Amino acid sequence: MDAYTVLLVDDEEDVIHVIMKKIDWEGLGFSVIGYAVNGVKALEMVEEFQPDVVVTDIKMPYMDGMELSGHIKNEFPATKILIFTGFDEFEYAKEAVHLEVEEYILKPVNSGEITRIFTRLKQKLDQEISEKRNVEVLQNYYLESLPLLQANFYTSLIEGRIGEDKLSKYISDYQISFEHPFLCCLVIHTSASRIPENMTPLLLATSVQKQAEEYLGERWRAKCFAYLGNTVLIAQLKRETEVSELTDDCDRFCRYVRRMVGAVVTVGIGMVCESPLALSRSYASAREAVSYRAIYGASRAINMGEIAPRQMRGAKSDSEAETGNLFKKILLGSEEEVREAADRYLEQLALGLNSLQQHHIAVMELVTAMYRFSVNHKLPMEENFGDMKKLYSRLLEMEPTGLRNWIINTSLDFREKLILERSCSTKTFVSRAEEYVRSHYGDEELSLDTVCEVLGVSNSYFSTTFKKETGKSFIGYLTDYRMDQASRLLIETSEKSYVIAKNVGYADPNYFSYVFKRRFGASPSKYRTEHGESEN
C-alpha cells in the first residue's frame, strides 16, 4: 500500500525542517509532500495535492491554523488535522474539538512523541480503509444509496434511455414497484423570480419538493425526484380517467404551497401512458404544459390533454404603435411613463395571442425590436442581450410577470444609458472617476460604490465602461494608484511604513505590505533600501 501523505504548515521554517529530518516518515508509513509557511499557501497545496494529513501551527500570517482547519474540514473532510502549537488556551482547544481535530499538541514536541502520534494515526487510517472495503459496509452503503439510484433510474426513464430488455432488471435491483396500470408525469416548476424573504431559490425548491411528496405522493403513489431544476413526479392511476381528479388535486396543491411557503408554482400534467417505457413522452408533454404558463399564468395546474390552442382567425392585433410609444418614452419619458408604456404594450400584445406558438413569435419580434433600438442608439448590447440564443430560450420560459419585469428593466436600463450619454462622453466619465481617485485615494472607505454614487450611475455600467476605456477594473486601477503613491513616499520621505500605509488608504499595515510585495516583488522596507540607494 502507498504511504499516507503529510503536509506541514508553520511560519517557522526551522521547525518544519527539524520535523522533516528527525522523523522516520517512511518507517511510519507516511510521506511528506511539502510544507507551507502560511495558511493561504497551505490551502492552495491542500486543494492541489489533497494530503491524508495536515500538521499545522495556529498563529500564522494571512490565515491562521484554526481558519485553515475549518476550510479543510468543509472541503476535504477525509483529511486528518493535527495542531502543534505553543498556545495553551482553552478557546483554541475548544474550537479544535469542534473541528474534529485529531490531536492538539503543545510545543515543544520531541521526536518520540511525534512518532507515537503518527503510529496511532496510521492505525486509524488503516482501519478506515479496511471498513470501507468490508462487504457488509458496502451492502449498507448500497441501501443508503438506494434513493439516489432510484432517482437516477427515474431520470433515465423520462429521458428515454432505458431499453425494454433492461427494464425488469433495474426495477428488481432498485426495489421499485408500479402497482397501478396507468402512469402520468407531473413537472412542478417553482418560479425563481418571486422568492419569499429569508429564502433562497434552492431552499424554496427543496421545500416545494417536500410539500409535493406529502400532498400528492401518498394518494397518487407518486415517485418524486428533482430534474433540471424542477420537481418531477411519476403518478400512478387506477383508471385513465383519473387524470381529471389528478389535475384538480394539482391545482389545489399550487394554491396550498402559495399559502404555506409563499412559492409561485406551476404544475404541468403530461399525457397518460400504460408503460414505464412511455414516460419519456409523458414527461415531454408535461414540460410543454409548464411552458404554457407564459399564456395562462403561474400558480396553477395545466393539463396538456386539456389544451387545444385556438388557431387565430382574422388579422393579428397591431402592436407596432405601442412599440413606438415604448421607445419614445425610453428616449424622453420618466421612469413611471416607461413602466406605463411597457404595460400598454403587453396588454395590446395579449389581445392577439391564442397559442403558445404565437406567444413565441411575439417574444422574438419584441427582442428584435429592442435589439434594433439599441443598435440605432449605439448602446452597449452585450450587457443587455449577450448570447441571443440563450436570451430567447430564457424569455420563452418566463411567465407573464417575469417577461414584464424583463421588458421594464431593459427599457429603464436603456433610458439610464441614454441620459448618461447625453450628460457626458465616455472619456469624460472615466476621467472624472480617475480624478476622484487622485483626490481621495487616502480614504480607506473609497470603493466602487462610493464612485458610482458620486457619478450617479449603476455599478454594472460603470465597471463595464471603466474597464473598456482603461483596460483595468476600477479596484485594480485604485490599487495600482495607491501602490504608486506608496512607492514614491517610501523613496522621497522617511515616514514609517505603517504611516505610509494609512496615507494611501490602508488601515492594516500587514495587508498593505502584502499588496505592495505582490505589486513590486519586495517588501516596503526592502524596496526603500534598494531604491533609496539607487537614487543617491
Query: Mean pLDDT across the stretch 27-35?
Result: 93
Same domain, 14 and 153: no
Residue linked to cell 485615494: 441
* Lowest-pLDDT range of 23-27, 72-76, 347-351, 370-374: 347-351
The closest of 156, 187, 356 to 269, measured between CA atoms, is 187
Any domain includes 326:
yes
Tell me the per-residue pLDDT of 439-482, one tens digit each, with 9 for 90 and over: 999 999 999 889 988 887 777 768 877 888 888 999 999 999 99
The CATH number linked to 191 is: 3.30.70.270
418-447 residue pLDDT tens: 777 655 555 677 888 899 999 999 999 999
Q: What tens digit of pLDDT does each residue of 102-152 get?
A: 888 887 778 888 899 999 999 999 888 887 766 566 677 777 788 888 989
Domain membership of residue 249 (yes or no) is yes
- The answer to whether residues 390 and 433 belong to one domain is no
- How would you class 312 by CB atoms within 10 Å of its CB: exposed for 0-12, middle for 13-18, buried for 19 or more? middle
> Does residue 170 have a pLDDT over 70?
yes
Among the three residues 417, 448, 481, which one is the final residue of a domain in this structure? 417
What is the extent of the structural domain holding 458? 426-535
Same domain, 150 and 268: yes
pLDDT of residue 269: 93
Contacts of 472 (CB under 8 A, 6+ apart): 466, 480
315 occurs within a structural domain: no
pLDDT at 491 over 60: yes
Q: What percent of the chain has pLDDT over 90?
A: 41
CATH code where residue 431 lies? 1.10.10.60
* Phi/psi of residue 182, nearest 5 degrees: -115, 145
Question: What pLDDT was estimated at residue 313?
Answer: 36
Do 379 and 468 reside in the same domain of the chain?
no
Average pLDDT over residues 17-31: 91
Which is higher by pLDDT, 188 or 62? 188
Q: How far is the C-alpha of 179 from the C-alpha of 237, rounded, in Å?
A: 9
Inter-residue contact 222 to 186 (CB < 8 Å): yes
Does residue 311 lie within any of the structural domains? no
Q: How far apart are CA 215 and CA 229, in angstroms?
A: 20
CB atoms within 10 A of CB 139: 10
Q: Which of 132, 163, 185 is the last residue of a domain?
A: 132
Determine how many CB atoms are found less than 10 A away from the CB of residue 300. Answer: 16
Read off the DSSP letter of residue 314.
Answer: S
| DSSP classification of residue 213 | I
Stretch 313-320: mean pLDDT = 46
Most confident of 110-114, 384-388, 511-515: 511-515
CB of 183 closer than 8 Å to CB of 272? yes
Residues 161 and 260 in one domain: yes
Number of neighbours of residue 273 by Cβ within 10 angstroms:
20
pLDDT score at 89: 67
Q: How far apart are CA 486 and CA 533, in angstroms?
A: 17
Distance CA 204, CA 261 (A): 8
Same domain, 152 and 212: yes
Cis peptide before 108 (omega within 30 of 0): yes
The band of 320, judged by pLDDT with boundaries at 50, 70 and 90, is: low
Give a yes or no: residue 312 inside a domain.
no
Residue 482, in any domain of the structure: yes
The domain tally of the chain equals 4
* pLDDT tens for each residue of 198-245: 889 899 999 999 999 999 998 999 999 999 989 999 999 999 889 888
Q: What is the mean pLDDT of residues 481-502?
A: 93
Mean confidence (pLDDT) of the chain = 84
DSSP 273: B
Residue 307 or 23, more confident = 23
Evaluate if residue 490 carries a pLDDT over 70: yes
The verdict on 403 and 463 lying in the same domain is: no
**pLDDT band, very low/low/confident/very high, at 316 (cuts 50, 70, 90):** very low
> Please, what's the b/e burial string for 84-102 (b: 16 or more CB within 10 A of its CB; e: otherwise)?
bbeeeeeebbebbeebebb
Kindly indicate the confidence band of residue 317, based on its pLDDT and cuts at 50, 70 and 90.
Answer: very low
- Burial (CB count <10 Å: 0-12, 13-18, 19+), residue 188: buried
Please name the residue ranges forming H helices in 443-535: 448-455, 459-470, 474-492, 497-503, 509-520, 524-535
pLDDT given for residue 536 in this prediction: 41
Q: Is the pLDDT of residue 246 over 80?
A: yes
Flag whether 313 is in a domain: no
- Cα-Cα-Cα-Cα torsion 304, 305, 306, 310, nearest 10 degrees, comes to 80
pLDDT at 138: 66
Q: Give the span between the Cα atoms of 353 and 317, in whole angstroms.
A: 9
What confidence score (pLDDT) does residue 80 get?
92
409/457 same-domain check = no
Judge if 161 and 296 occupy the same domain: yes
Residue 509 grid coordinates: 499595515
Say if residue 382's pLDDT is above 80. no
DSSP state of 346: H
What is the identity of the amino acid at 524? P
Confidence (pLDDT) at 225:
93
User: Domain ends where: 132, 159, 192?
Assistant: 132
User: How far apart (Å, rounded) are the C-alpha atoms in residues 53 and 103?
Assistant: 11
Q: Which CATH number goes with the domain that contains 38?
A: 3.40.50.2300
DSSP annotation string for 66-126: HHHHHHHHHH-TTSEEEEEES---HHHHHHHHHTT-SEEEESP--HHHHHHHHHHHHHHHH
Residue 335: φ, ψ to 5°: -60, -45
pLDDT at 488: 92
CA 503, CA 482: separation in Å to the nearest integer? 9
Average pLDDT over residues 313-334: 67
Dihedral in degrees, nearest 10, Cα atoms 167, 176, 238, 190 = -100
Could you tell me if residue 442 is inside a domain?
yes
At 271, the pLDDT band (50, 70, 90 cuts) reads very high
Give residue 296's pLDDT band: very low, low, confident or very high (50, 70, 90).
confident
pTM for the model stands at 0.42
What's residue 468's pLDDT?
82
* Residue 267: pLDDT over 90: yes
Q: What is the mean pLDDT of residues 383-407?
A: 76
- Residues 126, 25: Cα–Cα separation, whole Å: 16
Same domain flag for 100 and 153: no
In this prediction, residue 352 carries a pLDDT of 56
Do residues 150 and 18 share a domain? Answer: no
Q: Residue 354: which pLDDT band, with cuts at 50, 70 and 90?
A: low
Q: Do both 248 and 273 map to the same domain?
A: yes
